[in-house]
Amino acid sequence: MTFRIRFFLVCMIVLVMFLLHNSFFLWNLDGYVPLLFGFMPFAYSYYVGYAILAVLAMKLISDLAWPDPPEEITSQFGDKESSKQ
Amino acid sequence: MINLVGIGLLVIYFFILIAIGFYGGRIARKTREDYFMAGRGLGSIAVFMALFASNITAFTIIGHAGFAYETGYGAYGYVIGWSIFITPFTYYLVGYRSWLLGKRYGFATQPQVFGGIFKSKLVSLLFLVFLLYYTLPYLVVSIIGGGLAFTTVTEGMVPYWLSALVIIGISLVYTIPAGLRGTVWTDIFQGTLFLVVAVMLLSAVARALGGFSEITAEIVRDNPAMLQRGLSEELAPINWFSYSFINSIAVIVFPQIYTRILAARSSLNLKQVSMYYPLALAVIFGVSTLMGVWGSVAVPGLEGQEADNIVPMLIHQFLTPTWMVLGLVVVLAIVKSSIDSQLLAVSHLVTVDFLPRFKRLSSMQAVFWGRILLVIFAGIAFYVALIQPGAILSIAGFAFSGFSVMLPVMIGALYWPRANKYGATAALIVPAVMLHLWYLDVLPRWTTFGFMPVFPSFVLAILVLIVVSYLTPAPPPEQREKTFGLFERVFQ
């Protein structure tokens, strides 16, 4: 899979996360299911779940489109004192 | 009232910070790279805590809890929901590519990275000016928030001016000798401290109020509106959507955050930070949300700014004085870890991006000037925090939006080879001007079509960057090669 396609998948993950955050149609559940498992407010526990999903999403993004710099690049990382600053 | 145990805890806390600064100063090499960038050798835990502690401000415990007191559980998703994912994602989107350029070409700040990509002194200057313009009022507001919190928690025993002085003074004691290394070490200490103590405080308050289930049942019974986002006017969908463009995407633009990313040792460090960052954000804001909502039934009837003091009030009314001191330590740790990083960031920017325009500085001279500027900026910020001029406070009110509308230029520079210096210049200036016109009520609010001003300004930044770049000459191939040639070899 080319990087372009993998990056496209990353954009899709971002879009899904954005939609899940702006999921106004789910707000009705705040009233219908006020407490999840009888003690967790839905509006609150939704974002506890969202945080776990965010960890998984970042893991997926990292596996998909976050390559480490190759040796030929890292060998060029040197002393910066004489450089730009 | 604070007891002897409390005073002892405060003394230990301050002593640890000063000791870290002293030790950091002894082992630091007196070079620019070491002082401002910790030799670009920060490991995963150091980068994680440095970003997290700098990211969390007094707003988390004071303002956010007050907001949750008024709006309910929905405050959690509104304020931090999108940030939980998008903030660490921007560490990948913008942070990693910037880190690569920093490692390869020695860039250390946004003016250097984006001035370098566009080969433009004007773009570099605009980044410098806007970053200082938004960071300094934000710094002042952090000091005001911290000072007020300190005074509230000590029940006025420590006056506001002394609170602000202590907060800035101690920050300087460890930042001046040890630079970034000192602030990062204290961030590890303070970040861990405020995370752990905040959770302990929450659990103590829960016990005092009868337990988690009991409080929640009481809220369902007495104040059910706190559970339903749809009932809050402030959480209206259009505000909810607009807010996605304020605090969450602004974080990567903060100079204190950006520089810390560039100081990471390796790509792996950044990956690990991005992966676990959502949990830390969720925990700290989760704690303050619960405190705020619980406060609405435990201490009902607070209005406006009174509600912002709900956490100190809960501790004061339901816990022992020792817990009060622990609460104070949490507030101090949160406030100081963001203030020291902001102070260091502005002194870094001026030292490496402004002073060299007039005089070439050696590495040691840069460290010397960095330290002088730390004291100057701290003095100015302290004075402004005392007199609290309206103009500064109103700029701080939209500083986050100001940072956010700079993001399209940063993304364009890193992802779009056709973006040029003309487009970047226009896309930095135009949205900033519009933001001012909207926030200062020069333009009528209907012109934002109901959105918060940040959203149309953000869209405008994208449009201006694209249109102006296409209407003006493309960057020369050798200039593009410097940035995109490097990326092509990494992102295959």
- The answer to whether A85 contacts B106, with C-beta atoms less than 8 Å apart, is yes
Instruction: Find residues 351-390 of chain B whose CB sits inside 8 Å of chain A.
Output: 352, 363, 366
Residue among A39, A51, A84 minimizing CB distance to B107:
A84
Ordered by where they begin, the domains of chain B are 4-388 (1.20.1730.10), 405-492 (no CATH)
Instruction: Find residues 33-52 of chain B whose CB sits inside 8 Å of chain A.
Output: 33, 40
The one-letter amino acid at A1: M
Residue A83 has pLDDT above 70, yes or no: no
- Chain B CB contacts of A84 below 8 Å: 105-108, 112, 116
- The answer to whether B220 contacts A85, with C-beta atoms less than 8 Å apart, is no
**Would you state the pLDDT for residue A85?**
44
The one-letter amino acid at B228: Q
Residue A81 has pLDDT above 50, yes or no: no
- Chain B CB contacts of A41 below 8 Å: 73, 216, 219, 226-227
**Would you state the pLDDT for residue B63?**
83
Distance from CA of B282 to the nearest CA of A (A): 6
- Chain B CB contacts of A24 below 8 Å: 237, 240
- Chain A CB contacts of B116 below 8 Å: 84
| Separation between Cα atoms, residue B311 and residue B292, nearest integer Å | 7
Structure-token pair, residue B461: 């930044």
CB of A1 within 8 Å of a chain B CB? The answer is no
**Would you state the pLDDT for residue A14?**
97
| Separation between Cα atoms, residue B461 and residue B457, nearest integer Å | 6
**Minimum Cα–Cα distance from B228: chain A residue:** A30
DSSP secondary structure of B351-405: IIIIGGGTS---HHHHHHHHHHHHHHHHHHHHHHHHH--HHHHHHHHTHHHHHHT
Distance from CA of B146 to the nearest CA of A (A): 27
Domain ranges of chain A: 14-64
CB of A63 within 8 Å of a chain B CB? The answer is no
Interface mutation target, options A8, A21, A42, A71, chain B, most CBs of B under 10 Å: A21
**Would you state the pLDDT for residue A79?**
52
**Minimum Cα–Cα distance from B34: chain A residue:** A81
Per-residue pLDDT tens digits of chain B, which is 492 residues long: 567 887 888 889 889 988 988 888 888 777 899 999 999 999 999 999 999 999 888 778 778 999 999 999 999 999 999 999 999 999 999 999 999 999 999 999 999 999 999 999 999 999 999 999 999 988 888 888 888 877 877 778 889 999 999 999 989 999 999 999 989 999 999 999 989 999 999 999 999 999 998 999 999 988 888 999 988 888 999 999 988 888 889 999 999 999 999 999 999 999 999 999 999 999 999 999 999 999 999 999 898 778 888 888 898 889 888 888 888 888 888 888 889 999 999 999 999 999 998 988 999 999 999 999 999 999 999 999 998 887 777 777 788 899 999 999 999 999 999 999 999 999 999 999 999 999 888 999 889 888 989 999 999 999 999 999 999 999 999 999 999 999 999 998
- Mapped onto helix, strand or coil, the DSSP state of residue B443 is coil
- Mapped onto helix, strand or coil, the DSSP state of residue B178 is helix
CB of B476 within 8 Å of a chain A CB? The answer is no
**Would you state the pLDDT for residue B286?**
95
- The answer to whether A72 contacts B228, with C-beta atoms less than 8 Å apart, is no
| Separation between Cα atoms, residue B384 and residue B376, nearest integer Å | 12
**Would you state the pLDDT for residue A78?**
66
DSSP secondary structure of B55-109: H--HHHHTHHHHHHHHH-THHHIIIIIHHHHHHHHHIIIIIIHHHHHHHHH---S
| Separation between Cα atoms, residue B443 and residue A45, nearest integer Å | 40
Residue among B89, B241, B363 minimizing CB distance to A22:
B241
**Minimum Cα–Cα distance from A14: chain B residue:** B86
Structure-token pair, residue B29: 């090499």
- Chain A CB contacts of B213 below 8 Å: 38-39
ipTM, interface predicted TM-score of the complex:
0.92
Distance from CA of B81 to the nearest CA of A (A): 6
**Would you state the pLDDT for residue B2?**
64
Q: Tell me which of B304 and A48 has the higher pLDDT.
A: A48
| Separation between Cα atoms, residue B427 and residue B416, nearest integer Å | 14
- The answer to whether B85 contacts A21, with C-beta atoms less than 8 Å apart, is yes
- Chain B CB contacts of A60 below 8 Å: none
- Chain B CB contacts of A51 below 8 Å: 84, 278-279, 281-282
| Separation between Cα atoms, residue B336 and residue B163, nearest integer Å | 12
DSSP secondary structure of B313-342: HHHHHHS-HHHHHHHHHHHHHHHHHHHHHH
Interface mutation target, options B85, B89, B411, chain A, most CBs of A under 10 Å: B85
